[in-house]
A and B are shown apart, each in its own frame.
Chain A
Amino acid sequence: MLTVRLAWRNLWRNRKRTLITVAALSLNTAVCIVTYGLMVGVLAKMQRNATRLTSGEVQVHAPGYRQDRSLYKTLAQPEALLATARAEGFAAVPRTYGYGLISRGGKSAGALFWGVDPAAEQDAFALAGDMAAGAYLGREPAGEIVLGRKLARALQVAVGDEVIAVVQAADGSLGNELFRVAGLFSSAGESFDRQTAMIHRADFSRLFVTENRVHEIALHGRDRHAPQDMVAALREKHPGVEVLAWPEISPHFASFMEYMRRVAWLYAFIFALVAGLGITSTMLMATFDRTWEFGVLKALGTAPWRIVRDVAAESLLLAIFSTGIGMAGGCAVIWIFQERGIDMSRFIQGAVSFSGVAFDPVLRPVISWAVLLPPTVIMWVTALAASLYPAVKAARIHPVRAMTQV
């Protein structure tokens, strides 16, 4: 305790220098915390976008379906899979996919048709409640179609317009039907916006002559079940199908998240380096000022390790004090922007996606111990490490030379 009290007193012997250093370190810590909080928040939102908007945290397919997306590789028992999932408390929806052409007037575009169960989709996934225009599909099949925004723009259609869908049906014939545009989706990722045309599964079955067969069951755990647990539960009861969690379904996005985490570590390293250099500089000056003092201490018989300990304690105390303020500042900034977010949409034209997942231009940071502790602890460790050079230098001075130098 004496060490601590001495260190504290030593810090304030040169108030101006200490205050400037505290200001620098606490700013450094605060910026680190806010940046990290932003990154965590944005990545979490992107992950939610990837899984909660459309693709789900877990997907079930017939073996081999994902390789070629063949219209003919359908699930043998979709109803049983849905029943199992719902019994376990997961949100689950059946989906069928097929490629085709959408046309209106002289404009045509290729599209990926989704045959869905609108009631189940609205219950399970957020996209249905987030339309950019118009409304989602009705519960009963009524020749309605909902398009991705970029697809609608390519075709120059608006809500209420009529479009033709022309597809290669499962029996080889040319399926063609008229649909009315019921709504347009908000941005949910580049390829989704460009290709998606969603229709009721009964309409899909008639258009593609697929006899109500299903390609995919998409699930998520309603925030109550981890994806790996869901995968295990389904694999146990249905061994014949392919059950995958989202990192395996979207490996691009999973590796993108991993990449961002490593970038965060790089930032932390740079911040620590800067802070460390500042601390070394400050402590060097502090010990230089007290050369005579250290000379006296050593002449009196103080062991070198005690001097090292004292200098290091000073540095650590400085760090703790600064990070305390930095944490408070960082928390305050994050707390202010948590709800409102930092609106970057002015700088971003149109919709942006990374690895196919929509990027929300309103950046929202999050607060949690996971966000606060790493920058703080890194700062403490840096402070200790940075003070070693000045401390050892102080511990090794020659007593007589130190006392006569001044």
Chain B
Amino acid sequence: MDVRKRPFLSGWVPALSRWSVMAGLGLPSALAAGEAETPDPTPRQMLDRVDNLYRGSSSHGIMAMKVVRENWSRELKLEFWTQGKENTLVRILEPAKEKGTATLRTEGNIWNYLPKVNQVIKIPASMMGSSWMGSHFTHDDLVKQNRLAEDYEFVQTFSGERDGAPVVEITCTPKADAAVVWGRVVVNVSRDDWLPRSIAYFDEDLHPVRTLAFDDFRPLDDLSIPRVARMVPVDPPQERTEIRYEDLSFNVVLPDDWFSIRELQR
């Protein structure tokens, strides 16, 4: 695997490019290290941050995904790469029975590679709402073609204390022409580090459907990022899918044809 990791925020990177990367992530520059006073991020900047979480211009990492369902529960270990807003490649490392199963996302299409039958299948548009790998994340979530700041009208609806922590709440309603499955999305961002704490999803009738909660804020690759993302459906409430990032590097250099079906099958 010829993937070279270029250390982020290392000494020789000029300060200018550091800021531009930060800005690309939607981070207010004040975060980097005690700089001059800058205004709080706007709701748009906060939403961009949420959309760009875990992505950067490219990334590579390992995560553990635990899925708890009514009739079964299982744990997977996955390796993943992302590039830009479009490309994602995820491969199962464990359990051994499913090792090698991979999912590729490019240009709004999703492909699965199944090592047992050595075949690649395309997920049809009709199944975009179905669960990915049995988890509570759907293929639609993986494609993530909708960006909060662009496809939704957003309004800051609350700023203050909740459960002892200072948060900002942004309520997003889909624009009339946006192809979005949700009726409303409510994002809670902490005022301490401007990182999201939770995202609540509502259907077209504005009934709550699921909540994505973020946890374990420790630096990964020198960036403060929630290491745990937990998707909990409203019904049935005892189910959940928990993703724990064990290793994550940003701005990795990836070969041009990395996100291709051929690569998927390796």
| A residues neighboring B (CB under 8 Å) | 72, 101, 103, 106-110, 164, 166, 168, 170-174, 176-178
Contact = CB atoms under 8 A, between A and B. Distances in A.
Contact of A174 (B70, B114, B127): B114
Contacts of B112: 166, 174
B118 to A, nearest CB: 9
Contact of A110 (B114, B121, B122, B126): B126
B73 A176 contact: no
B39 interface: no
Contacts of A174: 98, 101, 112, 114, 133-134
A164 B98 CA distance: 16
Given A72-B71, A110-B127, 10 more contacts: A103-B119, A103-B121, A109-B124, A166-B121, A170-B72, A172-B67, A172-B73, A172-B134, A174-B114, A178-B119
Given A172-B74, A174-B101, A174-B114, A108 B69 contact: no
Contacts of B126: 109-110
B32 interface: no
Nearest to A173: B98
A197 to B, nearest CB: 15
Contacts of A178: 117, 119
Nearest to B71: A72
Contact of B114 (A72, A164, A172): A164
A74 to B, nearest CB: 12
Nearest to A72: B71
A164 B101 CA distance: 15
Contact of A173 (B117, B131, B134): B134
B266 interface: no
B31 interface: no
B116 interface: yes
Contacts of B124: 101, 107-110
A342 B101 CA distance: 55
B97 interface: yes
A107 B125 CA distance: 11
| Residue among B97, B101, B119 facing the most chain A CB atoms (10 A cut-off) | B119
Nearest to B68: A172
17 contacts: A101-B121, A101-B127, A103-B119, A108-B121, A108-B122, A110-B124, A110-B127, A164-B114, A166-B114, A168-B134, A171-B72, A171-B74, A172-B67, A172-B71, A172-B72, A173-B74, A173-B134
**For chain B, which range describes its interface: under 10, 10 to 19, 20 to 34, or 35 or more residues?**
20 to 34
Interface string B133-151: 1100000000000000000
A272 to B, nearest CB: 50
Nearest to B70: A72
Contacts of A173: 74, 97-98, 134
A168 B131 contact: yes
Nearest to B111: A106
Contacts of A171: 72, 74
Interface string B44-81: 00000000000000000000000101111110000000
B30 interface: no
A221 B124 CA distance: 41
Contacts of B122: 103, 106-108
Contact of B127 (A107, A108, A170, A176): A108
B123 interface: yes
Nearest to A103: B121
Nearest to B123: A108
Residue among A72, A101, A177 having the largest count of chain B Cβ atoms under 10 Å: A101
Contacts of A106: 122
Interface string B88-123: 000000000110010000000000101011010111
Contacts of B97: 173
Contacts of B131: 168
A256 to B, nearest CB: 27
Contacts of B71: 72, 170, 172
A203 to B, nearest CB: 14
A173 B97 CA distance: 9
Nearest to B119: A164
Contacts of A108: 121-124, 127
A181 B112 CA distance: 22
Contacts of B72: 170-172
Contacts of B70: 72
B11 to A, nearest CB: 45
A108 B124 CA distance: 6
A178 B72 CA distance: 25
A299 B126 CA distance: 87
A232 to B, nearest CB: 34
Contacts of B119: 103, 164, 176, 178
A171 B98 CA distance: 13
